[in-house]
Amino acid sequence: MLAPGTLDKFGTVDHEKAESFGWKQEDADAWLKKPVTVLIPAAMGNAVTEENVNDINFDTVKVYAEAANTPTTLEADEVLKAKGVYMIPDFICNAGGVTVSYFEEVQNNMNFYWSKEEVIEKLDRIMTNAFNAVADLAEERKCYTRDAAYLISLQRVAKAVEGRGWVKPKK
């Protein structure tokens, strides 16, 4: 975080002021090498690749939370899996915004609006249940959390397709 007074009126960093507060500019992939417990790729897709995944400090990183859409390539994901890093896949980790957009659509369709507290409570319940379902299945099946998340997703899609009568249930 930048110290107060380090931005000009246009939001541009005043490097001299920022450096006086201890700020330093680093290489683009420096964040991967940080000795952190939770690593959160949050800016763009394909940020962690086969070429840079081994820059991650696997001595300290225990949780990898994908806050961006598809920030990890398949090859990099295999490395994370092999290293035993706890993965919170993007479609679980960053689904809050999409979920709240759905809430907005529901409210607009009903012309009935919830308070901020109600929205937060509903979001918390949905996100917590989704995370716990993935965590529980991964533990139960002794599988990677991304694989558990995909299994749950596929089961839910299959149930929805069956419920709409698009396919007949398998007996």
Distance between CA 106 and CA 102 in Å, rounded? 6
Residue 123 is part of which domain span? Answer: 95-150
3-state secondary structure of 108: helix
Distance between CA 73 and CA 54 in Å, rounded? 13
Q: Is the pLDDT of residue 2 over 70?
A: no
Which of 92, 112, 140 is at the close of a domain?
92
User: Which DSSP letter does residue 10 get?
Assistant: T
- Domain count across the chain: 2
Residues 143, 149, 150, 154: what is their CA dihedral angle, to the nearest 10 degrees?
A: 120
3-state secondary structure of 57: coil
For 21-42, the pLDDT digits (tens) are 888 888 988 999 999 999 999 9
What is the rounded average pLDDT of the residues 130-144? 97
For 51-86, the pLDDT digits (tens) are 999 999 999 999 999 999 999 999 999 999 999 999
Are residue 104 and residue 84 in the same domain, yes or no? no
Q: Is the pLDDT of residue 44 over 70?
A: yes
Counting DSSP H helices and E strands in the chain, the numbers are: 6, 3
